[in-house]
Amino acid sequence: MSKQLERHDISDELYVYKQDNSERWYARIKVAGKWIAKATKQKEKEKAIAMAHRLQMEFGILQERGLFVSSKRFRDVAEKAISAMKVIIKIDTEKKNKTDKDKDKDKDKDKDKQNPKKHKLTTYIQVLRKYHIPFFDRTYITSIDSDKLREFDKWRIEQFGREPAKSTLLNHNAAMQLVFKEAVDQKWMLAAQVPSLSTKGAESQRRAHFTPEEYEKAFDAVVALEENSRKEKTRQIRELLIDYMEFAVYTGIRAGTEMDNLTWGDIRFQTNGTAVHLFITVTKGKTIKHTGTREIVCREEVLSSLQSLRERFPNRKPTDKIFRLADGTTTNELTKTFEKALISAGLKKSPHGDRSLYSLRHSYITWQLLAGVNMEVLAKQCGTSVAMIEKHYSHVIPKMFSKELSGVDLGEVTVKKSIKNRSDRLLKILKNRYKEWEAHYKKVGCI
């Protein structure tokens, strides 16, 4: 288990802290009488404190709008999911008995083994009772993040005495997804709060990408390069790469022509009362002549980088390129710098080929598929076709989603992590900032 190394109290309902398994600060925020832990992604304490204030504001807005959920302990949610699975098994058994009542017991057993729905659900129940419930137990379902999942991975290896097989990990992930689905359906957590699950032994994917954990490692490697820069221009290139990475991995925009030609005039926003939607218009790239210009709905994760770029270029104009150095020039060193960071982090090679800046786009598409985003929506967002996504990424879905993996349907999903949901969350983050951006937009034509 991770240990807290350092803590800084900001107020009675807010503090930041460091753990022994990370160089970055975490924020702990009290909302609606409950404490919530959230990563700040910051190494410097002052920046972490600023991010903590921002996170507190976001949760406060969620609470005001009635979108902040009352969480449940993992054990309670898992038991609820298990009860739902038992109902499915019972119904399935009754149906089988009506058609097979004249068959002998041996044949019944054989057919039972051939029933993937019943067999898979039974396996998921066993997995949850033996591994997930004992480990997570009274942990709030909304508190399970990538750090907690890494702790579980280590604990599970200790229980097995070895690395689990591929099929085992797939079953564990499918079982866990059923628990998260139950929590979302019961409104005990938001779809946006469901963490990404990773499988070291996953089947080969056709395009090299990063898991969220690998991306964090790559991000840290670039930050380390920036901090150890000898020349100012080198530092600027590495600083720019950090923002470039965040844009690519959280928008799906292609590294290269599409990203390099983005200008400040390509970013716009729409207001609806106190709400703000942020978009980026992609005007250049290899598919533009076939698809035309397209608008990207921004994820909230790009906001810190966008704000950093705004601060670095206070005199920006609509025609200025977004990704440029302090003197206004562009650079061809981003690819080489990123490769250097990947090599230092041991991430250059993957089972599916060498990783590059373009792998950030593959990561975005993979993560969105795993989050349940509709392929048609994703195709429009990324400027590609559904056929291409199906060809190169559709095999990702059965690895993580219980319904596709087991044929089980526990009812319609009432909350989905869709593009609309992400843009809705974006509105809350921009609530106290859009007036400044709007004023600048009216003045010079860009945010």
**Predicted pLDDT at 390:** 81
Assigned token pair, 349: 């090679």
Statement: the pTM of the whole predicted model exceeds 0.75: no
CA distances from 178 to 78, 83, 91, 136 (A): 8, 11, 18, 15
Residue 42 · residue 25 · CB < 8 Å? yes
**Predicted pLDDT at 193:** 76
**Predicted pLDDT at 124:** 94
Give the residue among 236, 249, 248 at the shortest CA–CA distance from 330. 236
**Predicted pLDDT at 388:** 84
Q: Which residues have a Cβ under 8 Å from the Cβ of 306 and sit 6 or more positions away? A: 243, 267
Task: Tell me the average confidence (pLDDT) per consecutive run of 10 residues in the chain, 447 residues long.
Answer: 85 92 88 81 92 86 62 89 91 73 50 55 93 92 84 90 81 93 85 73 61 93 95 96 94 92 90 70 77 81 86 93 94 95 94 89 90 86 86 63 41 37 48 75 88
**Predicted pLDDT at 298:** 82
Query: What 3-state class would DSSP assign to 28?
Result: strand
**Predicted pLDDT at 317:** 94
Rg for the chain, CA atoms, rounded: 24
**Predicted pLDDT at 190:** 75
| Packing angle, helices 419-430 and 303-312, rounded to 10 | 50
Domains of the chain, first to last: 4-64 (no CATH), 74-200 (no CATH), 212-401+423-444 (1.10.443.10)
Alpha-carbon span 133 to 152, nearest angstrom: 11
